[in-house]
Amino acid sequence: MAKKIEREVVKASSAKKETKKAKAPTREAKTEEREVVEVKDGGDKQTRKKRATGKRLLAIFFWLLAFAAEVIVILRLNGYLYWLPQLDIKTFIIGGLIIDMIFVIVGSLFWKKANRINPPSEKNKLWFFLCSQMGLIAAIIAFVPLIVILLKNKDLDKKTKKIVSVVAAIALLIAGAASIDYNPASAEDLAEAKSEAAELGYGDVVYWTQYGRSYHLDQDCHTLARSKVLYEGSMDESFEAKRNDPCDYCADGAAIKASAEAEGGLLEEVVEEVAEEVVE
């Protein structure tokens, strides 16, 4: 169950009576009070799959609405659907493009959320790419055919054609940029993170901050010293919160091992130098 941990720093000089007084009153000591607030639990593996499926269905629904908006604009552009509101063609096309863009982005947000709840497997590279970047693919389908038809259209005047084509290109860029998953996680990444945590002697409880991108195995990691708010949850929940990068100091098994080996090598060198000096 994910928990929100709030840290309150209290000065000893202004603390309430029940707060333990500092032994040296001339020096300002700091104590920490943490209030643990329970956050909605993500559920077990089966529940997470169901949640992910629901969000993927919502994503597909919004993408279908985006495709429908594209088709309506194309039909209106070709002289059909004359019974629609009598807006001038430029206003109609720009309005349709904006609606198209909004639906694509909303659908992509649902899809990316589903991938964080239940990451796809990386065993099949092609499927992993398609599943991770499905939002970008939807954006291309929702705009590229319309842009091609706009460029080939001979009925629009040059000024209108130029304006709506530029708007369509900008909408495609915005929708595409918002739909790309820049840091997709795989099921193998999640399994490896859990395995490393177990090897380092930790359970399935990790910590992360409101704006950070890493998860931490140690609640007292020095990189969290200035964080007043901590979130506590399982590894699955940290990946869902887009915190799938291990902290280099307390959660990255390879980095910790390399650091320990480096320290061990340095210690051996110091011991050898001291031994040589004693012999001489």
State the average pLDDT over residues 263-270.
50
Asked, for residue 264, whether it belongs to a domain, the answer is no
Asked, for residue 262, whether it belongs to a domain, the answer is no
State the average pLDDT over residues 126-152.
95
Supply the pLDDT for residue 106: 98
Q: Which of 4-18, 56-70, 76-90, 266-280 has the highest mean pLDDT?
A: 56-70
210 and 248 housed in the same domain: yes
State the average pLDDT over residues 129-151.
95
95 and 206 housed in the same domain: no
64 and 149 housed in the same domain: yes
Asked, for residue 260, whether it belongs to a domain, the answer is no
Strand 229-233 versus strand 30-38 pairing type: unpaired
Pull the structure tokens for residue 251. Answer: 């959660």
pTM over 0.95: no
Overall domain count for the chain:
2
96 and 24 housed in the same domain: no
Q: Show the domain range for 160.
A: 45-179
- pLDDT beyond 70 at 252: yes
12 and 102 housed in the same domain: no
Asked, for residue 271, whether it belongs to a domain, the answer is no
Supply the pLDDT for residue 29: 38
Closest CA to 233 of 210, 260, 205: 205
Asked, for residue 276, whether it belongs to a domain, the answer is no
- Summarised one tens digit per residue, pLDDT across range 162-209 is 999 999 999 999 999 999 999 899 999 999 999 998 888 888 889 998
172 and 191 housed in the same domain: no
pLDDT band at 2 (very low <50, low <70, confident <90, very high): low
Supply the pLDDT for residue 15: 40
DSSP label at residue 20: P
- Summarised one tens digit per residue, pLDDT across range 81-121 is 766 666 788 999 999 999 999 999 999 999 999 999 999 99
- Summarised one tens digit per residue, pLDDT across range 215-229 is 999 888 888 888 888
103 and 152 housed in the same domain: yes
Pull the structure tokens for residue 208. Answer: 């992360």
222 and 247 housed in the same domain: yes
Given 126, 159, 179, the domain boundary residue is 179
Supply the pLDDT for residue 36: 43
- Other CB atoms within 10 Å distance of the CB of residue 143: 23
Measured distance CA(200)–CA(174) in Å, rounded: 42
119 and 164 housed in the same domain: yes
Closest CA to 253 of 195, 204, 205: 195
Residues of the chain by 3-state class (helix, strand, coil), percent to 5: 60, 10, 30
Given 179, 202, 219, the domain boundary residue is 179
59 and 160 housed in the same domain: yes
DSSP label at residue 216: B
H helix or E strand, kind and range, residue 239: helix 235-240
153 and 231 housed in the same domain: no
Asked, for residue 216, whether it belongs to a domain, the answer is yes
What is the overall mean pLDDT for the chain? Answer: 80
Given 179, 198, 224, the domain boundary residue is 179
Supply the pLDDT for residue 1: 60
**Percent of all residues in the chain with a pLDDT value above 70, rounded to a whole number:** 72
51 and 144 housed in the same domain: yes
DSSP 3-state of 212: coil
